[in-house]
Amino acid sequence: MQKQRDSFSSKFGIIAAAAGSAIGLGNIWKFPYIAGENGGSAFIIIYLIFIVLIGVPVMMSEFIIGRKAKQNVFGAFRQLTSHGFWKIIGIMGVLAAFLILSFYGTVASWTIEYLVLAFKDGFSGKSSDELTFMFESFSQSTFKPIVWQVLFMALTAYIVIGGIKKGIEKYTKILMPLLVVIIIYLDITAITLKGGMGGIRFLFYPDFSVLTHQSIIDALGHAFFTLSLGMGVLITYGSYFKKDTNITSTSISVAGADTIIALLAGLAIFPVVFAFGAEPGKGAGLVFMTLPKIFELIPGGYIFSILFFLLLSVAALTSSISILEVIVAYISEEKNISRKKATIITAILITLTGIVCTLSFGPLNHIQLRGFTIFDIFDKLASNILLPLGGMFISIFIGWKLKKQIITDELGNYGTLRFKFLKVFMFLVRYLAPIAILIVLVQGIWQIIMEMIIAG
């Protein structure tokens, strides 16, 4: 595969592309809504701790594996070890990619609908209740969300077929910083809202008594989800890295940018939630029900609402192509199918399962397990179980299996770079990350079993 061996043309291009995968609906749609459901700042603190102590080391591990092997996730483990066990990372990754892209397409379809609404000036003059109603009636309908979802998946497939790298590098470099600028503008408005202080308090004053087992699992799962970790996306991206790419500083920059955007998104949303007396735990529609309110209040709101939903759609796209790429690389390389054919088949299959996720808000809403819809189940299964498990195996692979020399070479760029934190890094990947992930997962599974016993 010639294409995979190209490399990014600049340092900023590398960071922008990895950040393009990381920054997506996870930051602006998912983070506020699960932070809201889990009571805000105490959850956020746990999530930040997971980002620093588990996310960054696992990200560095993926980059090390990718750049060393210069292959997709399956090829990488085949090259670096003779033991077939590690294939499990790739297999779980493909499954997770399938699940994630299914529900990602649902949320992307909402984003496109809101872009169209923004064009039509569809938010102005609407009360909070009306905005809530607008979202609910759209997301529960059958036809339109599916049209947008098909369109989104077709676009994703089109970019993946056409050699993603030029596109990724060129567009994310301009569009991601633009998104940040707009969010900051929204923040300034939100913070100065009358009654918005409640939102700031919700974000920054922790109350640990509201934390549950579920919050801890959600926080871990989201740390993986938001950084695109645990399923080999960043192994693939690492394979494009150049010899002089600094793996450590790249990881810190990507994780830093991703975290800042999530926090800025929260800062734009929660003051609005509180100022208008809404409910932070409103669930998956939170952003769509609250953000339109700000556009009405800011100068140039019409233009900014269009720009915002346009950029959110692009951010979703740069993430979704990285997810589709994992499956396409697997099928095309392992099953000997052409890249184009692999992309089309995969995209069609995922669109079909994705439609089921979309309909789980409307006609299929009655299908539930412990109160979770199909949409929730896809998300929790992938984000809270498969990704952390994948991350656990990746860190064990780096910590216990890969030759130490390879790690020092990759982190120190073959002697040209001084890497001072080897001991800390090795401690994190050997002990802290795998053990912490295991505890959280076991606790989560235990919780489910107990609930099942109690229920009966």
Q: Cβ closer to ligand TRP: 108 or 429?
A: 108
For residues 54 and 370, give the distance between their C-alpha atoms in angstroms, rounded to a whole number: 29
Q: Which stretch binds ligand TRP (CB under 6 A): 20-28, 55-63, 409-417, 433-441?
A: 20-28
Q: Considering the complex, what minimum distance in angstroms separates the CB of residue 302 from ligand TRP? A: 27
| By CB under 6 A, residue 314 contacts ligand TRP | no
Q: Segment contacting ligand TRP (CB under 6 A): 21-29, 108-116, 328-336, 337-345?
A: 21-29
Window of 113-121, 169-177, 249-257, 316-324 that interacts with ligand TRP by CB under 6 A: 316-324
CA Rg, the chain, in Å?
21
Contact 59, 315 (CB under 8 A): no
Site pattern 374..413 for ligand TRP (x: CB under 6 A)? -------------x--------------------------
Cα distances from 262 to residues 86, 120, 223, 253, in angstroms, run 32, 28, 11, 14
Q: From residue 275, give the alpha-carbon distance in Å to each of 43, 136, 192, 263.
A: 22, 21, 10, 18
Tokens linked to 268: 């734009």
What type of residue is 335?
K
Question: Which one of 46-54, 177-185, 220-228, 414-422 is the stretch in contact with ligand TRP (CB under 6 A)?
Answer: 220-228
> How far is it, in rounded angstroms, from Cα 383 to Cα 40?
19
Return the residue nearest ligand TRP (CB atom): 26
Stretch that binds ligand TRP, among 76-84, 186-194, 224-232, 406-414 (CB under 6 A): 224-232
Q: Which stretch binds ligand TRP (CB under 6 A): 77-85, 178-186, 223-231, 411-419?
A: 223-231
Compute the least distance from the CB of residue 389 to ligand TRP, in Å.
13
Q: Tell me which of 228, 236, 245, 251 binds ligand TRP, using CB under 6 A.
A: 228
Q: Candidates 322, 358, 373, 413: give the one binding ligand TRP (CB under 6 A).
A: 322
Among 21, 106, 248, 373, the residue binding ligand TRP under the rule CB under 6 A is 21
CA distance 195 to 20: 34
Verify binding: residue 100, ligand TRP, rule CB under 6 A.
yes
CB of 205 to ligand TRP, least distance (A): 26
The token pair at 36 is: 């809201």
How near is the Cβ of 19 to ligand TRP at its closest, in Å? Answer: 10
Chain centroid to CA 418: 31
Kindly determine how many residues on this chain lie close enough to bind ligand TRP according to the rule CB under 6 A: 16
The CB density around residue 376, as the number of other CB atoms within 10 Å, is: 18
CB within 8 Å of 386: residues ≥ 6 apart: 92, 93, 95, 96, 99, 230, 231
Q: Is 25 in the site for ligand TRP (CB under 6 A)?
A: yes
The answer to whether the beta carbons of residues 358 and 146 sit under 8 Å apart is yes
Structure tokens at 218: 């959600």
323 contributes a contact to ligand TRP by CB under 6 A: yes
Q: 51 vs 278, which CB is nearer to ligand TRP?
A: 51
Distances (CA, A) of 384 to 95, 253, 444: 13, 24, 9
Residue of 25, 38, 402, 76 lying closest to 220 (CA atoms): 38
Q: Residues 411, 248: contact at Cβ < 8 Å?
A: yes
Site for ligand TRP in 30-89 (CB under 6 A): none
> CB of 320: closest distance to ligand TRP in angstroms?
7
Query: What are the backbone angles phi and psi of residue 368, rounded to the nearest 5°?
Result: -140, 150
26 binds ligand TRP (CB under 6 A): yes
Q: Which of 225, 308, 309, 397: binder of ligand TRP (CB under 6 A)?
A: 225
Check residue 231 for interaction with ligand TRP (CB under 6 A). yes
Contact residues toward ligand TRP (CB under 6 A) are 21-22, 24-27, 100, 225-226, 228, 231, 233, 319, 322-323, 387
